[in-house]
């Protein structure tokens, strides 16, 4: 299949590579020329604008940072909408505000272009090995038509409802992840401050009810003080802010989410916004006046 891919960042680049390796013809667009060159070396074709991407393909995929980027790429000058043609479909894999997904879908629908919102979870490691989890919103028929494309990049592809539902599910996911990262951070600092080896505590509790995918992925990073971003604090701040806005709009209080947003914002103020969200442990280190160490 001839597919357009716009947004070749930490997540988008390995996802696009997996599509190329699966035999799909890709037309790619990104502001980073070096990353585009990396994809074209694998056989992809580059395009100068989102419009040019859309004109050449049957399906456009986007993996962008936030709602304004998606609106610009789709609805802005030289955007996907300007390259719309019969038979084109669009899947946005970005994590954005659900209301923006619906707004973009309505604009595309007016030109006969169907859309899915399909945000992902799993971070860079799962993007690389093609085992991401997709949370999808949109028409069942469109989901059925392109599920096999998403399956190249993910191990779990679940349609949760109509357009916007994918991003509602993703925000729920981000709430759970943030609370888990905070709980692991708090527990490890608590153990070390109490005079017990934090790594030993991690090994002791990981196999019980406290164990989780988040703990397995993030506790070793905390212990190694390896905050190389798989998912940046600044992006989690964006997701939590979207969750709070959405919660307010539907009357769903999210007090834990609000607390986590303030904690991550404090880290941003301290200059850690480009680090991995496992760096949340530094918030607790500052409170406890200690530094987490591996034995």
Does residue 53 sit in the same domain as residue 116?
yes
pLDDT of residue 212: 96
Known active-site residue 170 = yes
Q: What is the DSSP string of the chain?
A: -EEEEE--STTHHHHHHHHHHTT-EEEEE-S-HHHHHHHHTTT-EE-SSHHHHHHH-SEEEE--SSHHHHHHHHHSTT-GGGG--TT-EEEE-S---HHHHHHHHHHHHTTT--EEE--EESHHHHHHHT-EEEEEES-HHHHHHHHHHHHHHEEEEEEEESTTHHHHHHHHHHHHHHHHHHHHHHHHHHHHHTTS-HHHHHHHHTTSTT--HHHHHHHHHHHHT----SSBHHHHHHHHHHHHHHHHHHT---HHHHHHHHHHHHHHHTT-TTSBGGGGHHHHHHHHT------
Does residue 77 sit in the same domain as residue 144?
yes
Does residue 245 sit in the same domain as residue 283?
yes
Model confidence at 295: pLDDT above 80: no
CATH of the domain at 43: 3.40.50.720
Total number of domains in the chain: 2
Give the residue from 129, 162, 195 where a domain finishes: 162
Model confidence at 285: pLDDT above 90: yes
Any domain includes 295: no
Pick the catalytic residue from 170, 193, 218, 286: 170
Model confidence at 4: pLDDT above 90: yes
**pTM of this structure:** 0.90
C-alpha 267/C-alpha 284 separation (Å) is 10
Determine the average pLDDT of the residues in 156-182: 97
pLDDT in tens, 112-157: 999 999 999 988 889 999 999 999 999 999 999 999 999 999 999 9
Does residue 144 sit in the same domain as residue 199?
no
pLDDT in tens, 13-63: 999 999 999 999 999 999 999 999 999 999 999 999 999 999 999 999 999
pLDDT of residue 37: 97
Determine the average pLDDT of the residues in 64-90: 96
pLDDT of residue 50: 98
pLDDT of residue 220: 97
Does residue 150 sit in the same domain as residue 251?
no
Give the residue from 133, 162, 191 where a domain finishes: 162
pLDDT of residue 230: 84
pLDDT of residue 123: 86
Model confidence at 67: pLDDT above 90: yes
- Please check whether residue 96 is in contact with residue 120, taking contact to mean a CB–CB distance below 8 angstroms: no
Determine the average pLDDT of the residues in 252-270: 98
Does residue 174 sit in the same domain as residue 258?
yes
CATH of the domain at 239: 1.10.1040.10
pLDDT of residue 16: 98
Q: Indicate the length of the chain as a whole number.
A: 295
Any domain includes 186: yes
């Amino acid at each position: 299949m001839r597919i357009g891919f716009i947004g070749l960042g930490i997540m988008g680049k390995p996802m696009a590579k997996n599509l190329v390796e699966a035999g799909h013809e890709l037309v790619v667009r990104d502001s980073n020329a070096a990353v585009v060159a990396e994809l074209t070396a694998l056989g992809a074709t580059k395009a100068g604008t989102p419009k040019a991407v859309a004109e050449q393909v049957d399906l456009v995929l986007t993996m962008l940072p936030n709602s304004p980027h998606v609106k610009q790429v789709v609805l802005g000058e030289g955007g996907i909408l300007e390259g719309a043609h019969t038979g084109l479909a669009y899947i946005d894999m970005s994590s954005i505000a659900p209301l923006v997904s619906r707004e973009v879908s309505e604009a595309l629908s007016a030109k006969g272009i169907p859309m899915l919102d399909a945000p992902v979870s799993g971070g860079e490691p799962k993007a690389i090995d093609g085992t991401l989890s997709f949370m999808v919103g949109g028409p069942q028929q469109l989901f059925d038509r392109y599920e096999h494309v998403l399956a190249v990049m993910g191990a779990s592809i679940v349609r949760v409802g109509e357009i916007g539902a994918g991003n509602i599910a993703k925000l729920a996911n981000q709430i759970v992840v943030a609370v888990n990262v905070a709980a692991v951070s708090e527990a490890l600092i608590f153990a070390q401050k109490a005079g017990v080896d934090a790594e030993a505590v991690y090994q002791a509790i990981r196999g019980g009810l406290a164990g989780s995918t988040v703990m397995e992925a993030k506790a070793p990073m905390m212990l190694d003080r390896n905050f190389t971003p798989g998912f940046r604090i600044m992006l989690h701040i964006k997701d939590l802010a979207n969750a709070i806005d959405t919660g307010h709009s539907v009357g769903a209080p999210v007090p834990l989410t609000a607390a986590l947003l303030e904690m991550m914002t404090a880290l941003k103020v301290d200059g850690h916004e480009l680090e991995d969200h496992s760096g949340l442990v530094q918030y607790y280190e500052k409170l406890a006046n200690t530094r987490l160490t591996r034995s």
